[in-house]
Amino acid sequence: MNFLTWGPDPWGQEILIRISWDLLYLASFLGVIFVVAHAVWFAFFAKEQVAAVDDATLTHLPKKVARHSFASRAFHWIMAAAMLVLLFTGFLPVIGVQFPWVTIHWVAGIVLTLSIIYHIIHASFWLDLWSMWIGPKDITDAVRRLKRSVGQDAPAPRKHAKYPLENRLYHHAIMLTGLLVIVTGILMTVRIETPLWARDPYLFADQTWGMIYVVHGLSSVSLVTLIIAHIYFGLRPEKRWITWSMILGWIDRRHYSEHHDPEQWVARPEGNSAQD
């Protein structure tokens, strides 16, 4: 298996061109292996523990607990659509599906870029950035959950804050890969004809272009694995209530009480302006 692709420049010197497309198949394979491994582990080995809920406590909670505002949901689905369009238009030609993909690809890239800029501004001034922070207590709770899930004795972990640790880890991974895709993608649009600016394939030296293409390719194939995992978890029966919250904007009070710590995330009724 090759990881990088090299080729001659006009003077016959060997230069870096891009990643090897073997990595696309590897990323897809790793995503599928992760899905299968997790499904088997969860079905046969994991001991899922959901905290018992006293029905009396539910009466003090809103029937619909606000989780995501319309603005947050709109961003999520626009970003998701843009990423999927980018991946399909970027990789379908690689596997032999030929179509005029370039314009669709860079337009989707602009949509993704604008959505991320919006999210950064929205999260910085209207949302709670610290809700995505990962601290030592989160790691301790994760270790305890893992031990208890495989039948080992461990103290009971705290219930989750608004965003469970796995959600925050995924957010940071997708943020890093997404930003790398965006920055390198913007640089790469200089090499094609667009209404945004004049084409200039000589802006960087060939070796520099090769590095840009490699970073873009590595981050793109990483997104393949990440998105496979994300879709898988979004469709799992025990996680669908979280997926529905990204559609409806709220979760029911039983799921809130079972999974979330009211000291870390205060329940507010659906429609409350303080939701994220």
Q: Report yes or no on 186 lying in a domain.
A: yes
Amino acid at 173: A
- Decide if 213 is inside a domain: yes
pLDDT confidence band for 51 (50 / 70 / 90): low
> Has this prediction a pTM greater than 0.85?
yes
Q: What average pLDDT score do residues 22-42 get? A: 97
Q: What percent of the chain has pLDDT over 70?
A: 96
Beta bridge partners, 15, equal 7
Does any domain span residue 97?
A: yes
Token duo for residue 157: 């972990």
> Domain holding 22: CATH number?
1.20.950
- Whether residue 64 lies inside any domain: the answer is no
Span 215-255, pLDDT tens digits: 999 999 999 999 999 999 999 999 999 999 999 999 999 99
Task: List, for residues 186-218, the tens digit of each pLDDT value.
Answer: 999 999 988 888 899 999 999 999 999 999 999
> 85 lies in which domain range?
4-47+79-243
Contact 32, 228 (CB under 8 A): yes
260 occurs within a structural domain: no
Residue at 236 is within a domain: yes
Give the span between the Cα atoms of 46 and 148, in whole angstroms.
Answer: 9
**Is residue 58 included in any domain, yes or no?**
no
Question: What's the total number of domains in the chain?
Answer: 1
